[in-house]
Chains A and B, each alone.
Chain A
Amino acid sequence: MARSVTTQRKLTFTILGWAIGLLIFFPILWTFLTSFKTEGTAVATPPQFLFFDWTLENYHEVQSRSDYMKHVTNSVVISVGSTLIGLALAIPAAWAMAFSPTKRTKDVLMWMLSTKMMPPVGVLVPLYLIFRDWGLLDTRLGLVAVLTMINLPIIVWMLYTYFKEIPGEILEAARMDGASLMKEIVYVLTPMAVPGIASTMLLNIILAWNEAFWTLNLTAANAAPLTAFIASYSSPEGLFWAKLSAASTMAIAPILIMGWFSQKQLVRGLTFGAVK
């Protein structure tokens, strides 16, 4: 489609687009900038935008808090761990549903989706009690288990839509060529599915990293990931804006970058393939 676009029109939309983009991004940018200010500059009126004395002091201070690294580790362990376990459960399931569908495959998929619709408060009480009785409260293991189950439907769905795109004839060809089921998976399916698996993984790490219902309710000091750590700034430490900003920047930066890489998959993953 070679539509002609006048320069003037393009210029108008460039200004409009950038204005909107910067406006929406501004809170993040502002957090980033504030993280380099002293506490005094952070609350200054009028606000200081760029021309202040940049300092790394806040980052030093946040990181020197004895428990900071623990929360980072918790976040990494919980998000990566739950995603990996989820993948291990979901890859065979999605493979089966995509390549040997039965009449009930659709029902199973829809049912999996429906578990995702359950509001977390609906099961908060029993889960809290089970966790208390089994000694899982405030443990990484418990959170990994919960987040695995929460994101499993999304993982299955995403993988299913990716696997669906691998033509069945190719796997049949492999079977004609004498590949056993194992070899079929190792030599043909996996290499073709790796991009899909990778983006599923990325998106689910992001979702698990940002999950803020179970992480807030089932953890205290030990297993709390960054979501809960930041929540502890709500009062009264929230008055220390510069430190809050530094902690926030560190908590969101890696995920933001991953998110930018996975933006295409985001749509597919979050709409369960309804919009591609």
Chain B
Amino acid sequence: MATLQTRATARLMMSPAVILLFLWMIVPLVMTLYFSFLRYNLLMPGTEEFIGFLNYQYFLTDPAFFTALGNTLMLVGGTLLITVIGGILLAIVLDQPFWGQGIVRLLVIAPFFVMPTVSALVWKNMLMHPVNGLFAWIARSFGFQPIDWFAQLPLFSIILIVAWQWLPFATLILLTALQSLDGEQIEAAEMDGAGALSRFYYLVLPHMSRAITVVILIQTIFLLSVFAEILVTTNGGPGLQTTNITYLIYAQALLQFDVGGASAGGIVAVILANIVAFFLIRLIGKNLER
């Protein structure tokens, strides 16, 4: 296999994908970096000039940035909390033998395939609507005052929607990990007198720890960029209550046409994502070597 001729062919076959991806990554990124040092507003053409770190200064000292950063962390953290814990519990239930297991599995993973705009609108209108929504009806049936979700708990409502979309992902991956657990190990532990709880704590949880890490890291990458759900439900409001970093930059770029400021924000977002990516890449890289 490892002959000179095959190696040359291999390089040739890799180059289109590698070159295109390289361009795709580097060209816009360099442009973003360049714009971030310019005063550049699409509404005021011809006024572009180099202003050093001023855009960064504006962006990072803008109170909206801190609100958005806080919202982003809440959104990521809240969603992770729900999906990881829910995913572990669901995976354990789905791993038990019961009638119709396969169908239930399909039901559980279904939300993952629903496009974000659909799930956001369905939840917002048909479930969370304060008057006609299903939740409101349930609340009233039990004699409670219905919650006006997007007015009273806007960020939590979005977390709920996003968590619903990502719960299947966590469940499916944790279930896969759970199923790869060696049955003989469990039986050996049973022979050693370990009860169900200690088996879970000493065997199942350590076995799933890698999968849990993968779920957390990959979801974080995607959750940092939640966009469509916010756009179609709240437009970042009320006020800035549901504006995350992604939405903030979007608004700055395509609503206020402040290219320079949005670019500075973009670079900040890239740096934030890279902190997570660093750990994820190391984890996956380690896995490659086995």
Name the distance in Å between A190's Cβ and chain B's nearest Cβ.
Answer: 14
The interface stretch among A51-59, A114-122, A191-199 is A114-122
B7 and A213 contact, CB distance less than 8 A: no
A residues 1-42 near B (Cβ < 8 Å) are 1, 3, 5, 9-11, 13-14, 16-18, 20-22, 24-25, 27-28, 30-31, 34, 42
Give, as a whole number of angstroms, the nearest-CB distance from A69 to chain B: 18
Within 8 Å CB of B233, what residues of A?
A: 234
Query: A24, B108: Cβ atoms under 8 Å?
Result: yes
Quick check: A96 and B225 within 8 Å, CB to CB? no
Query: Which of A114, A227, A234 has the largest count of B CB atoms less than 10 A from its CB?
Result: A234
CB contacts (< 8 Å) of B125 on chain A: these are 238-239, 241, 244
The chain A residue sitting closest to B184, CB to CB, is: A1
**Given the known A-B contacts A21-B108, A100-B1, A110-B285, are A270 and B28 also in contact in the complex, defined by CB atoms under 8 Å?**
no
Interface residues on A, range: 35 or more
Please, how many angstroms separate the alpha-carbon atoms of A210 and B228 in the complex?
11
Tell me if B287 is interfacial: C-beta within 8 Å of chain A.
Answer: yes
Taking a contact as CB atoms closer than 8 A, the residue among A22, A124, A171 that contacts B249 in the complex is A124
Selected contact of B273 from candidates A13, A117, A126, A248, CB within 8 Å: A117
Q: Name A93's closest neighbour in chain B (CB-CB).
A: B17
- The answer, among A47, A267, A272, for a CB contact under 8 Å with B137, is A47
Find out whether the CB atom of A27 lies under 8 angstroms from the CB atom of B119.
yes
Q: Kindly state the separation between the CA atoms of A116 and B221 in the bound complex, as whole angstroms.
A: 9
Max chain A CB contacts within 10 Å: which of B1, B118, B127? B118
Quick check: B107 and A230 within 8 Å, CB to CB? no
B43 to chain A, nearest CB (A): 14
Please choose the segment from B46-54, B57-65, B259-267 that sits at the chain A interface, where 4 or more of its residues have CB less than 8 A away. B259-267
Let me know if A125 is at the binding interface, CB within 8 A. yes
Distance to closest chain B CB from A153 (angstroms):
7
Per a CB cutoff under 8 Å, which of A100, A109, A116 touches B2? A100
- Does B117 lie at the interface of the complex (its beta carbon under 8 Å from any beta carbon of A)? yes
The residues of A that contact B121 with a CB separation of less than 8 Å are 230-231, 233-234, 238, 244, 248
Instruction: Say whether A24 contacts B288, CB under 8 Å.
Output: no
Distance in angstroms between the alpha carbons of A181 and B10 in the assembled complex: 11
Rounded to whole Å, the gap between the CB of A224 and the closest CB of chain B is 11
Q: Closest CB of chain A to B277's CB: distance in Å?
A: 4
CB distance from B46 to the nearest CB of A (A): 15
Asked if B6 and A100 make an inter-chain contact with CB atoms under 8 angstroms apart, the answer reads yes
Chain A contacts of B184 at CB under 8 A?
1
Contact partner, B18, options A30, A106, A108, Cβ 8 Å: A108
Asked if B13 and A27 make an inter-chain contact with CB atoms under 8 angstroms apart, the answer reads no
Chain B residues, CB < 8 A from A110: 281, 284-285, 288
Q: A213, B109: Cβ atoms under 8 Å?
A: no
Tell me the complex Cα distance, A118–B169, Å: 21
A141 at the interface (CB under 8 A from B): no
Contacts of B180 in A (CB 8 A): 276
Tell yes or no: B151 within 8 A of A by CB.
no
* Chain A interface residues (CB < 8 Å from chain B): 1, 3, 5, 9-11, 13-14, 16-18, 20-22, 24-25, 27-28, 30-31, 34, 42-43, 45-47, 89-90, 92-93, 95-97, 99-100, 102, 106, 108-110, 112-130, 149, 152-153, 156, 168, 171-172, 181, 206, 209-210, 212-213, 216-217, 226-228, 230-231, 233-234, 238-239, 241, 244-245, 248, 251-252, 255-256, 258-260, 263, 266-267, 270-276
Nearest first, the 7 A-B pairs at minimum CB distance are A126-B31, A259-B113, A92-B13, A212-B228, A96-B10, A117-B277, A123-B28
Question: Could you list 8 further interchain pairs (A-B, Cβ under 8 angstroms) beyond the known A11-B98, A96-B14, A274-B287?
Answer: A17-B93, A17-B100, A27-B111, A106-B285, A115-B25, A230-B118, A238-B125, A260-B109
